[in-house]
Amino acid sequence: MKQFLLFVMMCFAFSSYAQNEFGGAKFTPIAPLNTNKVAPKKVTPSSTDAPVIKAPDLFKKPDVSLPSSSKYQIGETKSFSMEQTNDFINPGDRIRDKMTKDLDKTLVREGLREDDRLLVKIDKNFGEIRTKSKYFVVKYRDFIYVDGDLIKATLNNQMIGGIMELYSSYGQFIFDLKDGINTFELEAYSKGTSGGNTCEFKIYDDKGVLVRSEFWDNWDKGVKGKFVIVKE
């Protein structure tokens, strides 16, 4: 019985202690979040239309914008040019070309070289020769510069002696004359390597007498000199 009463008293005491510790305490409840005050974010949907692509005008010259020169640039700025140049030309070639031109002009001026710009392209009539000689001897040579000049001689449209080359010393050929009129022609058959054809020739009768001395200078290929020889 005593034990039971002791148990009841302990329970009563514990109950009173618990009320004093927790009964007087006040608890503030936490208010719930107010979701009505936050406005929802409006999302604008992206356009589904395809972007407009503008084709370039192929006939319009594009505006070329060159970059500005850098402050670290070294040397002189060269302007842009479409002209093809050779920056690696040898200065000695220019001097050589100038000396060659000057030499050519000097040779032409001194009569030691022909000038292609002044080629004679018109046939020449050397006139008439009257003689009683049975034949003529013609001596010929290149009187300026031996460069491979060739000549051709014809009498009454018949070739005499073939094609003959001119040298510094005289070559010669002989042809007989018929009574009456004989047409004798000398033709510049070629040009030499240094210009037109140059020929000096002398005509002798059957007694060795000089009948005519003539020459031509800077003749073009195919130009002819004509004599009318009358055998009396």
Domain range list for the chain = 120-231
| Residue range 139-153, pLDDT digits in tens | 999 998 899 999 999
Q: Quote the tokens at residue 163.
A: 């094609």
> Average pLDDT, whole number, for the chain?
77
- The CA distance from 34 to 151, in Å, is 126
Mean pLDDT (whole number) for 200-222: 96
Cβ(158)–Cβ(212) below 8 Å: no
Nearest Cα neighbor of 174 from 229, 201, 136 is 136
**Alpha-carbon distance values, 26 to 14, 17, 29, 32, 111 (Å):** 21, 17, 10, 19, 139
Res 46: pLDDT: 57
Res 93: pLDDT: 63
How would residue 22 be classed by pLDDT, with cut points 50, 70 and 90?
Answer: very low
CATH class of 120-231: mainly beta
CA 39 from chain centre, in angstroms, equals 78
Q: Going by C-beta distance under 8 Å and a sequence separation of 6 or more, which residues neighbour residue 57? A: none
The residue with greater pLDDT, 118 or 140, is 140
Q: Report percent pLDDT > 70 for the chain.
A: 50
How would residue 175 be classed by pLDDT, with cut points 50, 70 and 90?
Answer: very high
Q: Report percent pLDDT > 90 for the chain.
A: 46
pLDDT at 94 > cutoff 70: no
Res 195: pLDDT: 86
Backbone φ and ψ for 193, nearest 5 degrees, come out as -75, -15
